[in-house]
Amino acid sequence: MAVHPITIMGEPVLHRRALPVEAFDDELRTLIADMFETMDVANGVGLAAPQIGVGLRIFVYGMENDDDVAPRGVLVNPTLVTSKVPGSDPDPDDEAEGCLSVPGEAFPLKRADWVRVSGFDGDGSPVEFEATGWFARCMQHEYDHLDGKLYVDRLNARESRKAKKALKNNGWGVPGLTWLPGVDPDPFGH
């Protein structure tokens, strides 16, 4: 297993739709193991392949939940169905979201409270479950990465202005920026 550098917003792979996985082989299983290792060292709860520069439809997660779903898993070529996203403003205390590809920042965002996820595990076996609450938020966040979206792309106008200011202040939005978990300081202070 290897820890990979995490791409920062502005890297092209983060802003385009990832391609479907076609082969469930040892190369895929090695990539998945590396993704888990990278997520763990980065203290993340999820990691999508584009976040380590790989444009494939894969994400891993590690999050306790109340939905009787294993707290660690992988989804390959997933699909997602959600409940309606509430139209109210997000709560800055209870709905602040962060992202390893927007290191050290957090902005409030409304998400659907329920999702149905289906896809495959690393061996090609079908996986399907429902998620609620923060676990549902995690699933939506990681799935967005596979469609070339970051959570900051979904912020309301007020929060979007704050995110654009942070982007500018951090010098992000250009290709080639990464940080390496376990070597670089943890941007979230874990």
Per-residue pLDDT of 78-128, as tens digits, reads: 999 999 999 899 999 999 999 999 999 999 999 999 999 999 999 999 999
Any idea how long the chain is?
190
Q: Which residues are catalytically annotated?
A: 142
- Quick one: DSSP state of residue 76? E
pTM: 0.96
Q: Are 169 and 162 in contact (CB under 8 A)?
A: no
Question: What pLDDT is stored for residue 1 in this prediction?
Answer: 83
Judged on CB neighbours under 10 Å (0-12, 13-18, 19+), 186 is middle
